[in-house]
A = this chain, B = another copy of it.
Amino acid sequence: MIDFAATRRLFHLPEGMIYLDGNSLGPLPVAAEARVAGVMRGEWGGQLIKAWNTADWINLPRRVGDRIGTLIGAPAGSVATGDTLSIKVFQALSAALAMRPERRVVLSDTGNFPSDLYIAQGLLQALGRGLELRLVAPEDVADAIDESVAVTLITEVDYRTGRMHDMAALTAKAHAAGAIAVWDLAHSAGAIPVDLTAADADFAVGCTYKYLNGGPGAPAFIYVAPRFAESAQPILSGWMGHEAPFAFDLDYRPHASVERMRVGTPPVLALAVLDAALDAWEGVDMADIRVQSTRLSERFIAEVEARCPDLDLASPRDPHARGSQVSFRHPQGYAIMQALIANGVVGDFRAPDLIRFGFTPLYLSEDEVVDAARILERVMTERLWDDPAYATRSAVT
């Protein structure tokens, strides 16, 4: 079993804050500070352009991709890193659509993260040819997969409720109908066990600033099933995905691997921070994380339900049916979360009425979870949220 007291020491955690928002932005890994200082002073500062070779910056995206791969059941050489999750959704969806030129439907659900839907809308509008984004309720996805569907574009764990899709079952159903399965792992990677190989996923994408603790706006990743590594068509055909970027040919020829999903010059500093953040995952078995995450979330639900009768559980009650987060509903959810934050418990709010809490065993203890429930109880019973200061919404919560 993991020594969670030891993994907790790998992170900077502010005194007096109980952090239940690692599902939105993970904390600063201690190792990241020294790493980025070294990259700046020693590599960029000391070697300048030569560091692309001497510090092997050029292969950093691949090395980081392989490390992420170990957490999501992806073999070495099947994960590329860089850009943002929205860009990676665009790449995966475009490549998947190109594999089913005779079909017209992209199937997704109303619980998908809006940016995935927006990106699909922008791509489909640009491509024309009668393509359609079909949205169904999350629980209706399986039934909606039929032979009209070109691509299923599904986020495994619902960002609002934590409700989890069955990746292996939906992928099998998509394949049986002749569709390509694209999975978004934004709330999965580092949160729950994922096995892309066993699930037979075609493409997967994800971000690294949540459970992987890569920092605000950290680089994203994309997985391409090895069977498609030499055929997936990159719409964002930038020079770093070229077979020979430094030949400076006038014609694009994609690299014969997942590297074709690289686009522009890699964000070296951000990748170095992410690389340092991944140190905390060395030797960690996601099955152990899952056991502890379930323990934490079950305890939190039990404590909150016993203490706060006005809050309604919005997440699946069955822990096997949810990821590593729990949400409750209340009409005053926004003000409640603001009051909770002011009292040292940081979760977040999602419109219209959800207060949301993430469970991250690497640095969150069961005692903190109980304390958070106690403070939430006080916010509710003393109506601390009923303060005009908490009525105005700020840009990000």
Say yes or no for A217: interface residue by CB 8 A criterion. Answer: yes
* B45–A12 touching, CB < 8 Å: yes
A window 236-283: CB within 8 A of B? 236-240, 242, 246-252, 263-271, 273
Binds B, one of A116-124, A167-175, A371-379: A116-124
The answer, yes or no, to whether A110 is at the interface (CB within 8 Å) is yes
- Chain B residues contacting A233 (CB-CB under 8 Å) are 125
Residue-wise interface mask of A (29-56) relative to B, using a CB-CB cutoff of 8 A (1 in contact, 0 not): 0001100110011001111111111000
**A115-B238, A118-B242, A249-B114 known; A85 vs B216 contact (CB < 8 Å):** no
Looking at the complex, which one of B32, B58, B84 makes contact with A238 (CB distance below 8 Å)?
B84
Q: Which single member of B118, B207, B341, B397 contacts A237 (CB below 8 Å)? A: B118
The minimal Cβ–Cβ distance linking A84 to chain B, given in whole angstroms, is 3
CB of B248 within 8 A of CB of A53, answer: no
User: Given contacts A84-B263, A265-B216, are A49 and B28 in contact (CB under 8 A)?
Assistant: no
Instruction: Please tell me if the beta carbons of B118 and A50 are within 8 angstroms of each other in the complex.
Output: no
A14 pairs with B239, CB closer than 8 A = no
Question: Which stretch, A86-94, A224-232, A298-306, touches the partner chain B?
Answer: A86-94
Complex Cα distance A265/B215, Å?
Answer: 11
Q: Does A202 have its Cβ within 8 Å of any Cβ on chain B? A: no
A351 adjacent to B83 (CB under 8 Å):
no
A251 and B121 form a contact (CB under 8 A): yes
Contact check, A215 vs B269: say whether CB atoms are below 8 A apart. yes
A161 interface residue per 8 A CB criterion: no
Within 322-353 of A, Cβ neighbours of B (below 8 Å) are at 341, 346, 348, 350-351
Contacts A17-B48, A49-B348 hold; do A235 and B126 have CB atoms under 8 A apart?
yes
- Among the listed stretches A18-26, A64-72, A312-320, which one makes contact with chain B, having 4 or more residues with CB under 8 Å of it? A18-26
Whole-angstrom distance between the alpha carbons of A268 and B267 in the complex? Answer: 12
A395 on the B face (CB < 8 A)? yes
* Contact indicator A395/B52 (Cβ below 8 Å): yes
Task: Determine if B12 and A217 form an interchain contact, defined as CB atoms under 8 angstroms apart.
Answer: no
A196 at the interface (CB under 8 A from B): no
Q: A251, A269, A350: which has the most chain B beta carbons within 10 Å?
A: A269
- A238 neighbours in B (Cβ, 8 Å): 84, 86-87, 115, 118-119
Query: Nearest Cβ distance between residue A353 and chain B, in whole angstroms?
Result: 12
Chain B residues within 8 Å of A203, by CB: none
Is there contact, CB below 8 Å, between A252 and B87?
no
Q: Does A209 contact B (CB under 8 A)?
A: yes
Least CB separation from A85: chain B residue: B264
Q: Which residues of B contact A239 (CB under 8 A)?
A: 86, 113-115, 118
| Nearest opposing residue in chain B for A118, CB measure | B252
Asked if A389 CB lies within 8 Å of chain B CBs, one says: no
Across-interface contacts of A249 in B (CB, < 8 A)? 114
Verify if A234 is at the interface (C-beta below 8 Å from B). Answer: yes
A251 to chain B, nearest CB (A): 7
Q: A362: CB under 8 A from chain B?
A: no
C-alpha gap A173/B113 in the complex (Å):
44
A57 sits at the interface (CB 8 A): yes
| The 10 nearest A-B residue pairs measured at CB | A84-B264, A122-B237, A86-B238, A115-B239, A216-B268, A52-B396, A28-B45, A118-B252, A86-B264, A217-B267
A residues with a Cβ closer than 8 A to B are: 12, 14, 17, 19, 21, 24-25, 27-28, 32-33, 36-37, 40-41, 44-53, 57-59, 82-87, 90, 94, 98, 110, 113-115, 117-119, 121-123, 125-129, 135, 207, 209, 215-220, 233-240, 242, 246-252, 263-271, 273, 341, 346, 348, 350-351, 393-397
A/B interface sample: 9 pairs, CB < 8 A: A27-B44, A48-B346, A52-B395, A84-B264, A87-B87, A90-B236, A115-B239, A209-B265, A246-B396
